[in-house]
Structure 1
Amino acid sequence: MTATLETGPIGARLAADLATAALGLARRFAAGATLWVISPEWAPHAHHVAVEFVHPVIVGKRALPAVALTDADPVARARLAVRPGDVVLAVAAAADPRVRDVMRRAPAWGAGTIWIGFGDRPAPGSADHVLWLADPDEMTPATGRFVLLYHLLWELTHVCFEHPALLAPEPDCADDVCITCSDEGRLGEVVEPESEPFGGALVRTATGEERVDVTVVGPVGSGDLILVHAGAALTRLEAQP
């Protein structure tokens, strides 16, 4: 294996990222997840990834639920399709505004995220797992090296299935009240704005839909992203440029 990403097909950093992403994906699949794949600019990649996971090409490997979402509006389609515990995988450049929007909303839907791409990396925290080639060449998505990323993700996910002890979910807080979690702002996406004063807005979070007091942030519209704490919206996230 090469020492750096730039000098070989799979460098040390990318290898570690692949291993971590595969383990997280395997755990999600083991818990009943569906993988939703988007690639607004390169629909064949979305189909290819989905087929890799659905089709058990190697004898003895399980078929895993994966669907390519190739609608013109991936945000609207993913919003309808994704359920808590699922995973959204994007194949796109970091500058793709549609993918950036899906990635930032996914936590409110309760979904994990994986982003595969090339050139400039997305900003830190843009996805749970980033599998990236530094090559800025616009032809990179047409190369075997690029396709190799999701082939390896598929293979390593199945390697994790061969070791069932790895598939146990990470333990939740054991205490009745976790100081860290209880003080945490959760991402929410507004489903229905407030229809009457102090009636609260209907908001979707990773744990489901709930009514949230939006007095602090003022009027909200459907699709707005807010941070929720103790039943109230603390702040509104600005739309991305």
Structure 2
Amino acid sequence: MTTIAPQGIFADLAADLAADLAAASLALAQRFSDSATAWCIAPAFPPHAQHIAVEFVHPVIVGKRALPAVALTGADLVGQVRVSARRGDVVIAVAAASDPVVAAIMRRAPAWGVSTIWIGNGPRPAPGAADHVLWLDDPDPRLPATGEFVLMYHLLWELTHVCFEHPGLLTNPQEDCTEDVCITCSDEGRLGEVISTAADGTATVRTARATETVIATLAWPLAPGDVVLVHAGTAISKVAEE
């Protein structure tokens, strides 16, 4: 088998980061082809969020499509994403793994039905903290002010458009169960975010499927914004913030 050496800027990427970029770009292209919006956040570096949104919205190359992306900045980013993002959308975050705002959003994203891409450097987020992690292991705190992050999301943009050139890649696999009875689904455990609670021991929660009313006595007390594990119409436990 012939091995082709990376060319140009790709030669500077570690093999695992190149693979992560390819996977994230394919997932992003699939989401965009299914009418998703990308919500871009960077609590400590707002210009990065704005730059990412501009990359996707502004078709700088003739023939490339403009893709829906919005930068969210300012206070209460958790609340902004909560009311903005809809099932099937994507959150792209630029932040350190220790950023509590981004961590809170990533924790709630499965309940919102939103996929996530986390860009950063230094110590990595915990495994599974985001759907896709694009990371530079260099811990230098000045790195976000260099061109390294810009290169990363420029490549994300470019590779996403490469995926659009191959329409057969853009169909997301069917995730919903269409059977009347499904053993796997009957033993489900889904994340939900509490919207409100009632005196009868129930809670209204937002999950990736819909807004649902669940029995909440096992996880009581609950408050709006809490994340819970839902099983068989019951909130069986509260998910810790840490």
Distance in 1 between residues matched to 2:98 and 2:66, nearest whole Å: 32
1:172-211 correspondence to structure 2 within 5 Å: 172=175, 173=177, 175-194=179-198, 196-198=199-201, 200-211=202-213
1:170 Cα deviation after fit? 1.0
Q: How many residues align?
A: 233
Question: Given residue 153 of structure 2, which amino acid in structure 1 is its aligned partner?
Answer: Y
SS in 2 for 1:222: coil
Contact map agreement 2:106 2:129 (CA 8 A) in 1: yes
Q: Which residue of 2 aligns with 1:5?
A: none
The answer as to 2:143 corresponding to 1:137 is no
Question: Given residue 231 of structure 1, which amino acid in structure 2 is its aligned partner?
Answer: G
1:36-115 correspondence to structure 2 within 5 Å: 36-115=39-118
Q: Which residue of 2 aligns with 1:167?
A: 170
Contact map agreement 2:77 2:101 (CA 8 A) in 1: yes
Contact map agreement 2:188 2:232 (CA 8 A) in 1: no
Contact map agreement 1:71 1:77 (CA 8 A) in 2: no
Contact map agreement 2:192 2:207 (CA 8 A) in 1: yes
TM-score by length of 2: 0.93
Contact map agreement 1:37 1:46 (CA 8 A) in 2: yes
The answer as to 2:7 corresponding to 1:23 is no
SS in 1 for 2:219: coil
SS in 2 for 1:216: helix
1:116-135 correspondence to structure 2 within 5 Å: 116-135=119-138
Question: Given residue 149 of structure 2, which amino acid in structure 1 is its aligned partner?
Answer: F
Query: Kindly, what percent of the aligned residue pairs are identical?
Result: 63
1:177 Cα deviation after fit? 3.0
Contact map agreement 1:22 1:160 (CA 8 A) in 2: yes
Distance in 2 between residues matched to 1:140 and 1:157, nearest whole Å: 24
SS in 1 for 2:218: coil
SS in 2 for 1:132: strand
Deviations 1:195-236 (A, max 9, x none): x224x1110000111101001112210001100011101110
Contact map agreement 2:95 2:118 (CA 8 A) in 1: yes
Q: Which stretches in structure 2 are left out of the alignment for 5+ residues?
A: none
Contact map agreement 1:189 1:225 (CA 8 A) in 2: yes
TM-score by length of 1: 0.93
Give the RMSD, CA atoms, in angstroms. 1.3
1:92 Cα deviation after fit? 0.5
Question: Given residue 27 of structure 2, which amino acid in structure 1 is its aligned partner?
Answer: G
Q: Which stretches in structure 1 are left out of the alignment for 5+ residues?
A: 3-7
Contact map agreement 1:193 1:219 (CA 8 A) in 2: no
Distance in 1 between residues matched to 2:184 and 2:158, nearest whole Å: 36
1:148 to 127, 151, 157: 151
